[in-house]
């Protein structure tokens, strides 16, 4: 097995005594003749927040798609909580406790806010609608006043918050978020990051992010992709901004 990138800042002790929540081992993926990922190795401990950074075209969204099962790697494996899920569909991974928030969020525009929160609940432990609603309102209070509105009437930022509230209300093991803050107003970004900060240590996050400074504020681990390769990886506290900026140039 290829050596993984040294990503383990949820505490070295945690990495030593429990399996990683996510193992990406020797993963490669190509779109025809174009190689988007090349031998990517990442290990994320339970409860850690890992940010995947890199310039446009680095392979970040492709990596997210491989992790959640939307794409199957041509080489390598994906492990979730010690189980090899490489060839499993996304729906099966969701039942194992994985949740995915794609770029721009994912809502059912013709359904109400309340219906969006409970539709497709395929997690391991089903919760009552009242419990889910209360959890969602605790995360984003504005949702309490918008229950009956169609989700398509919400702004882009509000839809992103609804998407995040939906996955977090069902207590997933691993949440993968593609381009968390892309195109959103600063006030919305602040609210999203505040909610993620509150969940640190309770849920494992892999966040594809474009803003390095914001990523550094919240994440335990950083991975910088460049041309499909891991250019830099490690605990955030050990990676100065200068090293991250240099990795962008590789």
Which has the higher per-residue pLDDT, 66 or 212? 66
Is the predicted pLDDT of residue 134 greater than 60, yes or no?
Answer: yes
* pLDDT of 51: 96
Radius of gyration of the chain (CA): 18
> What percentage of the chain has pLDDT greater than the value 70?
89
Q: How confident is the model at residue 106 (pLDDT cuts 50, 70, 90)?
A: confident
Confidence of residue 133 (pLDDT cuts 50, 70, 90): confident
The runs of H, that is alpha helices, within 57-143 are 60-68, 90-95, 113-118, 129-139
Mean pLDDT of 31-39: 95
Residue 94 has pLDDT above 70, yes or no: yes
Q: What mean pLDDT, rounded, does the chain reach?
A: 87
The H or E element spanning position 40 is strand 34-44
* Domain spans, the chain: 12-248
18 three-class SS: coil
Locate 14 and state its tokens: 């945690």
Give the three-state DSSP class for 134: helix
Task: Using the predicted structure, report yes or no on whether residue 97 has a pLDDT greater than 80.
Answer: yes
Instruction: Give me the pLDDT at residue 231, please.
Output: 95
* Residue 48, CA distances (Å) to 69, 82, 100, 108 in order: 21, 16, 16, 30
Q: What percentage of the chain reaches a pLDDT higher than 90?
A: 67
Highest mean pLDDT among 127-131, 134-138, 174-178: 174-178
Q: Is the pLDDT of residue 154 over 70?
A: yes
pTM of the predicted model as reported, rounded to 2 decimal places: 0.86
Most confident residue range from 54-58, 85-89, 216-220: 85-89
pLDDT at 59 over 50: yes
Is-contact 88 69, C-beta < 8 A? yes
pLDDT above 90 (res 121): no
- CB contact burial 40-76 (16+ within 10 A = b; e otherwise): bbbbbbbbbbbbbbbeeebbbbbbbbbbbbebebeeb
Q: What are phi and psi of 52, to 5 degrees?
A: -100, 115
Instruction: Return the CATH number of the domain spanning residue range 12-248.
Output: 3.40.50.300
Give the Cα separation of 97 and 80 in Å (integer).
9
- C-alpha–C-alpha distance, residues 217 and 237, integer Å: 10
Predicted pLDDT at 250: 65
The pLDDT value recorded for residue 27 is: 98
User: Could you tell me which residue, 118 or 63, shows the higher pLDDT?
Assistant: 63
- What's residue 11's pLDDT? 40
* pLDDT digits 0-9 by tens, 159-205: 999 999 999 988 899 999 998 888 889 999 999 999 999 999 889 99
Nearest to 21, CA basis, from 147, 235, 197, 176: 176
Arithmetic mean of pLDDT, 126-155: 88
First to last CA, the chain: 25
Q: Does residue 227 have a pLDDT over 60?
A: yes
Q: Is the pLDDT of residue 127 over 80?
A: no
């Amino acid at each position: 097995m290829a050596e993984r990138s040294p990503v383990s800042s949820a505490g070295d002790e945690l990495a030593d005594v429990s399996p990683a929540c996510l193992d990406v081992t020797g993963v490669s993926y190509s779109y025809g003749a174009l190689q988007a990922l090349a031998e990517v190795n990442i290990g994320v401990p339970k409860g850690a927040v890992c940010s995947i950074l890199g310039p446009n075209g680095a392979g970040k969204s492709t990596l997210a798609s491989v992790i959640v099962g939307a794409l199957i790697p041509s080489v390598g494996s994906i492990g979730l909580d010690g189980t090899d899920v490489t060839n499993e569909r996304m729906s099966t991974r969701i039942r194992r406790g994985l949740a995915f928030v794609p770029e721009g969020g994912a809502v059912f525009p013709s359904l109400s806010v309340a219906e969006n929160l409970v539709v497709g609940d395929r997690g391991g432990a089903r919760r009552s609608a009242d419990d889910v609603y209360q959890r969602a309102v605790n995360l984003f209070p504005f949702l309490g006043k918008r229950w009956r509105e169609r989700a398509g009437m919400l702004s882009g930022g509000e839809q992103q918050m609804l998407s995040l509230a939906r996955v977090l209300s069902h207590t997933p093991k691993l949440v993968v978020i593609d381009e968390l803050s892309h195109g959103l107003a600063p006030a919305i970004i602040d609210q999203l990051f505040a909610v993620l900060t509150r969940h640190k240590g309770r849920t494992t996050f892999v966040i594809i992010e474009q803003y390095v400074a914001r990523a550094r504020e919240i994440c335990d681990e950083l991975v910088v992709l460049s041309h499909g390769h891991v250019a830099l990886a490690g605990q955030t506290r050990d990676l100065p901004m200068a090293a991250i900026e240099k990795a962008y140039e590789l």
